[in-house]
Chain A
Amino acid sequence: MTDSKYFTTTKKGEIFELKAELNSDKKEKKKEAVKKVIASMTVGKDVSALFPDVVNCMQTDNLELKKLVYLYLMNYAKSQPDMAIMAVNTFVKDCEDLNPLIRALAVRTMGCIRVDKITEYLCEPLRKCLKDEDPYVRKTAAVCVAKLHDINAQLVEDQGFLDTLKDLISDSNPMVVANAVAALSEIAESHPNSNLLDLNPQTINKLLTALNECTEWGQIFILDCLASYLPRDDRESQSICERVTPRLSHANSAVVLSAVKVLMKFMEMLPKDLDYYGTLLKKLAPPLVTLLSAEPELQYVALRNINLIVQKRPEILKHEMKVFFVKYNDPIYVKLEKLDIMIRLASQANIAQVLAELKEYATEVDVDFVRKAVRAIGRCAIKVEQSAERCVSTLLDLIQTKVNYVVQEAIVVIKDIFRKYPNKYESVIATLCENLDSLDEPEARAAMIWIVGEYAERIDNADELLESFLEGFHDESTQVQLQLLTAIVKLFLKKPTETQELVQQVLSLATQDSDNPDLRDRGYIYWRLLSTDPVAAKEVVLAEKPLISEETDLIEPTLLEELICHIGTLASVYHKPPSAFVEGSRGVQHKRLPPRAGSGESTESPDVGQSGPSEAPPAVIPSQGDLLGDLLNLDLAPPTATVPSVQPSMQMGAMDLLGGGLDSLLGGDIGGSPSMGAGLGAAPAAMPASLGGAPAVGGGLGDLFDLGGGVGMPTGSYVAPKTVWLLAMKAKGLEISGTFARRGGIIQMDLSLTNKAMSVMTDFAIQFNRNSFGLAPAGPLQVLTPLSPNQTIDVSLPLSTSGPVMKMEPLNNLQVAVKNNIDVFYFSCQYPLSLLFVEDGKMDRQVFLATWKDIPNDNEAQFQIKDIHLNSDVASNKLQGSNIFTIAKRTVEGQDMLYQSVKLTNGIWVLAEMRIQTGNPNYTWMCWRRPHVRECVSQNDSPVIS
């Protein structure tokens, strides 16, 4: 008698049979039939056709049957909304049942039925359940509010459920508190700026009390909520930490990690000389170590987070190296993470042990793991200077094994060791050369060629070796070709007499026979350098090389801080900013660690290198963008995948140029106003899409109007405050914020460049992609001095409108590339349309009148600007400052009508009528566009007509 019997009916008439059974008079038979239906559902069979029959079984006293029917309803209500209504009455009745279990079950199930019509009926029962005498019902109802909010947010707000939910934070039952917090956090996620979780010392205290008594899951919700609180001072911070530390001993690893997050964040505020600070550091290690003895999946997540923690506070785990030693039957994903952390923790004190382990790993079976272990040995050599010699001899031992991929990895890392410690280990070159023939991977070949070129003067047959590579030049990968070119040039500069023929051969191969522009460019540069000034060539090509960094893959400090605030989340597993995981338009709040009190330490300099042997900030290996580095061939560092990313807030949906532009012109606060749709003529279909975008478009008419009275406002065009266009964490430490301005008929892009990385930035350049109005830089980006760390430079870049034109989505979108010595970064921004309003935009009155009459009705659109308290004259003056000219004015029935003209840089005229009613703060704006220039501007459903 098991449930597997429910799977056995596979005959054709199955559904009909079930239908008959469901309508049977016998209770038992009904129940069995519903069970069969559920069983079919679990394996993914479609049994939605039985909907009315199953719903008929709902009116029953049998709780099990009721539950089964509810299960079914939740699954299929969405596909049968009309039928689902049939169930409403039973739900409402069940919400009044004497048994709290049934009340809770009903309100819980109703919330899961995502059908609009049902939600209306849900409100009343839900309101009652939120105030139910039984805490079990209240806690279920709290979650239901979150469900309802997901279906219909407006309804939840209108019904005042959010306030009720906030009240539940003070509930006497800890489980109710935890669920209320969970529900509010979920709702708050879709309202980033709302004050839903308004945390103050009183609510924090309530949460901390509930923390001790609620279930493990509730504890996670509460801890995550606590993590978003910013204590007022270090004393409050300490008292919260004290009350959170007991959670570190919880059996549930998610509770432990959430507690670690709270502590890592709040301890930032504690003065370092405080005794408690040291105590806390000690308390953090054991729970993290314990996580590593859990199941491999838990270990993986823990290890990814520990990777962040050791970068931020290496002192916590510096004595725990051994727990990261790899067991041979660990899953590969655990092995690789452990290895990474071992290297981060490697220091002079433990390097011997680490090396012995790494050597052991290099003989394992898994190729990926072995490769990474060999690489790790190289990283240790670079990180711990005292161990370099031992690392090199370990690598030589490994090369002797002749295992092909081990040899190749070893050669790649030995090249880095040569870079770090020049003129120290050249004695091993002979051994390396023995393996020349077995190298078949480009990276290893390139590394070997670099070594030969760099030490050409010590290798007697360097020319022969390089020549042997030259034979198959065209079959090599670009990496190897570039390396070979440089190596031969180096060789030539060192031994000019014997290698003239060789260098000519390689230069001609690179410049004449190659299709690769990089290779050709480099070839020509060398050629010219060598032919014009060999001395200079020597200085350039054989120049002293900058140091390579001790640590690789260090996370940018700003990103690290943000990730520390998100310990335990997906973001922390992927080491990517949380904004990558939520929809951009929701406006992600970037969390930062709180500033430390007392100790006078700036937050900008996190104490990364604390336990390391040197305090000096690690230099960053210049990557491929740097031309000088290119010539010196310093670009051998593992290619860092720079993903040019766009700032999320700029990725609005399709926004019509004038729709979006005027929208903000006429006031950023227009977004969301229900009066928008009341347009004359064609209701603009594109408008809703642009609503969300309005705030992103900086400046505009609305801004022109705001600032209250505006008396004493400069008559010039309005300039929006600078907004951040490029985040430091996405651009290797370069942050760019900016705005646009029109000054004296010249369009300018005002930029602030801030260096948040740890090395100096130079060689800035800027370029625009083709755009709707042909905006292009009128001159180079004038950043004359190098930008040192933490320095900000303001520059104004004059723009012309004579660049190539391409229609953009939205029309006022501008894609920009900024280059510096580190890399090229891409971002996009949007300019206010008023930027393009030219000074001679005042139309002759007669022409205006004639044009006005010509405009067909369907070319018009209407907007309302709210809450502007200006009279028509002031408004007209202010608009003139932005090159919106008033041609005529008339007054009809207390309404001022202003007729206005605007000319865009590409010669398009926009005519408008503005109605201002005295006493009414709302303006109505109507715009027209001439039909024959329509196609130049925008898509057909443009709401704006000239």
Chain B
Amino acid sequence: MPNHPVPVPSSVLAALKNKTIHLSAAKMIHSLFLVNASGDIFLEKHWKSVVSRSVCDYFFEALERATEPENVPPVIPTPHHYLINVLRHRIYFVAVIQSEVPPLFVIEFLHRVVDTFQDYFGVCTEAAIKDNVVVVYELLEEMLDNGFPLATESNILKELIKPPTILRTVVNTITGSTNVGEQLPTGQLSVVPWRRTGVKYTNNEAYFDVIEEIDAIIDKSGSTITAEIQGVIDACVKLTGMPDLTLSFMNPRLLDDVSFHPCVRFKRWEAERILSFIPPDGNFRLLSYHVSSQNLVAIPVYVKHNISFREGSSQGRFELTLGPKQTMGKAVESVLVSSQLPRGVLNANLNPSQGTYTFDPVTKLLSWDVGKINPQKLPSLKGSMSLQAGASKPDENPTINIQFKIQQLAISGLKVNRLDMYGEKYKPFKGIKYMTKAGKFQVRT
């Protein structure tokens, strides 16, 4: 029946026409709205023409649909705009864009905004932002011009707009001076845009923290499904002048998947596996790296668990024991265990061998603050759970989430060999610290 009459639905065509999102030439980020946890817009900034805040209604719709605050999709289409949002510190940063802009570009920029606020105000909260609203506005204006990022390096921003401090506020009030820099930031156009010139310290010091986080999924039987290490080297460098540093490792082969701060000379790394750089002033992340599951990742703790429900009974058993595994002789500290128990669980009556536990009957979240693991006397949490009367046996298996810290150890085995400074004459204090933490460390039951 090839000749079946096929009417073209012109109404459909018309509807489709409207569906195509017509975007103007306006590029990059158009506006920014900050929304708090209760869904109120408490700040808006427009870099082009003003976009009505009713555009956020589409965001609120998505927010309502989301079961959890973090489940709001990052990119939301509306008839005339796209909304790209990130959730940080319980604040949604909602960027409005009107044209084809790389979404990662926007997300990275929003992260930079959050970092800057945190850097300036110590915390990134609604109260802190409201307390410093004019500085916030000045910062946003300085960070973006016509939607193009302008100055996002904290070093440069701080020269343009001085961070508020109690002392400065007092001084400004007395002398009538301002907290806006009058001079063009020195680093802005030099070959090292991340560093300002004329840095002076009486105590010259350079500290590096090697911090590794283990992400792992352990299955019921205790075998590792995936394990990977996300490592960073955070630096706090307070050195006078223009120091040129090199950092070398005992075992650079571990680092095959790295992301560098722009200050690192990539060619030198490629050729000699040495980090060579002129550091920014103050705190910065020198490098982040990823040790993938291909390599063997040591798992520092194990969990023995028995969480069971019997058919027809309103009681369930809960037993959990923690122990150290591959810790290279170091102590496992600040251990915190949490688990989302099944919805049917009414309450839990447990007995910890050490530490304290809480169970929230509303959210069903069990958390146990264990503290330090003593290898001689393993911490355990045992007891019973009561189920809703008449409820059937829960069919989901709770996952156990573990947090811990191990001082003085980089679990990947990464070790710094030496740190040298060139270009300046003084002798700086140098320090390297290692730490291993649990990232997303999950044990299935």
Q: Are the chains A and B members of one assembly?
A: yes
A interface residues, Cβ below 8 angstroms from B: 1-4, 6-7, 27-28, 31, 35, 38-39, 42-44, 62-65, 67-68, 71, 75, 78, 99-101, 108, 111-112, 114, 134-136, 140, 143-144, 146-147, 150, 173, 175, 179, 182, 186, 189-190, 213, 215-217, 220, 224, 246, 249-254, 256-258, 286-287, 289-290, 293, 295-298, 300-302, 319-320, 322-323, 325, 327-329, 331-333, 353, 356-357, 360, 363-366, 401, 403, 568-571, 573-574, 578, 580-584, 627, 643-646, 648, 651, 763-765, 767-769, 780, 815-817, 819, 824, 826, 828
Contact residues of B between 37 and 62, Cβ < 8 Å to A = 41-50, 53
Residue from B2, B45, B101, B173 whose CB has the most chain A CB atoms within 10 Å:
B2
A251 with B102: in contact, given A580-B20, A815-B10 (CB under 8 Å)? no
A252 with B108: in contact, given A150-B26, A328-B399, A333-B71 (CB under 8 Å)? yes
> Can you add 16 more A-B contacts, CB < 8 Å, to A569-B101, A826-B13?
A3-B133, A38-B137, A42-B45, A75-B50, A108-B145, A136-B188, A140-B145, A300-B74, A333-B71, A333-B74, A570-B103, A573-B103, A644-B16, A651-B17, A819-B2, A826-B8
- Asked if A68 contacts B290 (CB within 8 A), the reply is no
A3 with B135: in contact, given A63-B182, A111-B146, A769-B10 (CB under 8 Å)? yes
Q: Chain B: which residue is nearest A190 at the CB level?
A: B25
Q: Chain B: which residue is nearest A763 at the CB level?
A: B2
What per-residue 1/0 map shows which CB atoms of B100-116 lie under 8 Å from chain A? 11111101110100000
What per-residue 1/0 map shows which CB atoms of B199-234 lie under 8 Å from chain A? 000000000000000010101000001101010000
Contact residues of B between 332 and 372, Cβ < 8 Å to A = 343
7 contacts between A and B (CB under 8 A): A63-B181, A100-B184, A112-B146, A224-B102, A286-B292, A583-B22, A819-B4
| Cα of A65 to Cα of B177 in the assembled complex, Å | 11
Q: Give every chain A residue within 8 A of B82 (Cβ-Cβ).
A: 570
Among A246, A581, A819, point to the contact of B100 (Cβ < 8 A): A581
Of B258-266, B300-308, B381-389, B430-438, the one contacting chain A is B258-266
| Chain A proximity of B146: nearest CB distance (Å) | 5
Q: Give every chain A residue within 8 A of B258 (Cβ-Cβ).
A: 249
Asked if B295 CB lies within 8 Å of chain A CBs, one says: no
Q: Give every chain A residue within 8 A of B3 (Cβ-Cβ).
A: 765, 780
- Asked if A250 contacts B146 (CB within 8 A), the reply is no
Asked if B183 CB lies within 8 Å of chain A CBs, one says: yes
- Asked if A254 contacts B102 (CB within 8 A), the reply is yes
- Asked if A333 contacts B73 (CB within 8 A), the reply is yes
Q: Give every chain A residue within 8 A of B1 (Cβ-Cβ).
A: 627
A71 with B137: in contact, given A64-B179, A289-B257, A331-B70 (CB under 8 Å)? yes
Asked if B169 CB lies within 8 Å of chain A CBs, one says: yes
- Asked if B396 contacts A365 (CB within 8 A), the reply is yes
- Asked if B440 contacts A327 (CB within 8 A), the reply is yes
- Asked if B6 contacts A819 (CB within 8 A), the reply is yes
Q: Give every chain B residue within 8 A of A645 (Cβ-Cβ).
A: 16
Q: Give every chain A residue within 8 A of B49 (Cβ-Cβ).
A: 78, 114
How many A-B pairs have beta carbons closer than 8 Å: the answer is 307
| Cα of A763 to Cα of B215 in the assembled complex, Å | 55
| Cα of A648 to Cα of B22 in the assembled complex, Å | 11
- Asked if A64 contacts B178 (CB within 8 A), the reply is yes
| Cα of A68 to Cα of B134 in the assembled complex, Å | 9
| Cα of A38 to Cα of B169 in the assembled complex, Å | 19
- Asked if A251 contacts B99 (CB within 8 A), the reply is no
Q: Chain A: which residue is nearest B220 at the CB level?
A: A360
Q: Give every chain A residue within 8 A of B132 (Cβ-Cβ).
A: 2-3
| Cα of A791 to Cα of B49 in the assembled complex, Å | 51
Q: Give every chain A residue within 8 A of B122 (Cβ-Cβ).
A: none
Among A1, A179, A570, A780, point to the contact of B173 (Cβ < 8 A): A1
| Cα of A426 to Cα of B133 in the assembled complex, Å | 69
Asked if B86 CB lies within 8 Å of chain A CBs, one says: yes
Residue from A254, A574, A763, A768 whose CB has the most chain B CB atoms within 10 Å:
A254
Contact residues of B between 378 and 400, Cβ < 8 Å to A = 395-397, 399
Among A246, A251, A322, A568, point to the contact of B288 (Cβ < 8 A): A251
Asked if B5 CB lies within 8 Å of chain A CBs, one says: yes
Q: Chain A: which residue is nearest B262 at the CB level?
A: A216
- Asked if A189 contacts B25 (CB within 8 A), the reply is yes
| Chain A proximity of B287: nearest CB distance (Å) | 8
| Chain B proximity of A558: nearest CB distance (Å) | 19
| Cα of A225 to Cα of B169 in the assembled complex, Å | 45
| Cα of A640 to Cα of B187 in the assembled complex, Å | 55
Among A146, A251, A363, A574, point to the contact of B395 (Cβ < 8 A): A363
- Asked if A257 contacts B396 (CB within 8 A), the reply is no
Q: Give every chain A residue within 8 A of B429 (Cβ-Cβ).
A: none
- Asked if A42 contacts B102 (CB within 8 A), the reply is no
Asked if B27 CB lies within 8 Å of chain A CBs, one says: yes
Q: Give every chain A residue within 8 A of B215 (Cβ-Cβ).
A: 293, 327
Q: Give every chain B residue within 8 A of A767 (Cβ-Cβ).
A: 5-8
| Chain B proximity of A38: nearest CB distance (Å) | 6
- Asked if A254 contacts B8 (CB within 8 A), the reply is no
- Asked if A290 contacts B257 (CB within 8 A), the reply is yes
3 closest cross-chain pairs (CB), A and B: A286-B257, A2-B131, A769-B8
- Asked if A644 contacts B180 (CB within 8 A), the reply is no
- Asked if A289 contacts B290 (CB within 8 A), the reply is yes
A63 with B178: in contact, given A38-B134, A322-B226, A328-B442 (CB under 8 Å)? yes
| Chain B proximity of A720: nearest CB distance (Å) | 23
| Chain A proximity of B36: nearest CB distance (Å) | 12
- Asked if A39 contacts B133 (CB within 8 A), the reply is yes
A189 with B145: in contact, given A101-B183, A289-B292, A646-B13 (CB under 8 Å)? no
Asked if B198 CB lies within 8 Å of chain A CBs, one says: no
Asked if B319 CB lies within 8 Å of chain A CBs, one says: no
- Asked if B134 contacts A39 (CB within 8 A), the reply is yes
- Asked if A257 contacts B104 (CB within 8 A), the reply is yes
Among B75, B148, B183, B397, point to the contact of A301 (Cβ < 8 A): B75
| Chain A proximity of B170: nearest CB distance (Å) | 8
Q: Give every chain A residue within 8 A of B103 (Cβ-Cβ).
A: 301, 568-570, 573
Q: Chain B: which residue is nearest A252 at the CB level?
A: B108
- Asked if B260 contacts A250 (CB within 8 A), the reply is yes
- Asked if A646 contacts B17 (CB within 8 A), the reply is yes
Q: Chain B: which residue is nearest A366 at the CB level?
A: B67
Asked if B285 CB lies within 8 Å of chain A CBs, one says: yes
| Cα of A544 to Cα of B21 in the assembled complex, Å | 44
| Cα of A62 to Cα of B179 in the assembled complex, Å | 10
Asked if B444 CB lies within 8 Å of chain A CBs, one says: yes
- Asked if B53 contacts A44 (CB within 8 A), the reply is yes
- Asked if B107 contacts A298 (CB within 8 A), the reply is yes
- Asked if B25 contacts A186 (CB within 8 A), the reply is yes
Asked if B256 CB lies within 8 Å of chain A CBs, one says: yes
| Cα of A64 to Cα of B164 in the assembled complex, Å | 14
Asked if B78 CB lies within 8 Å of chain A CBs, one says: no
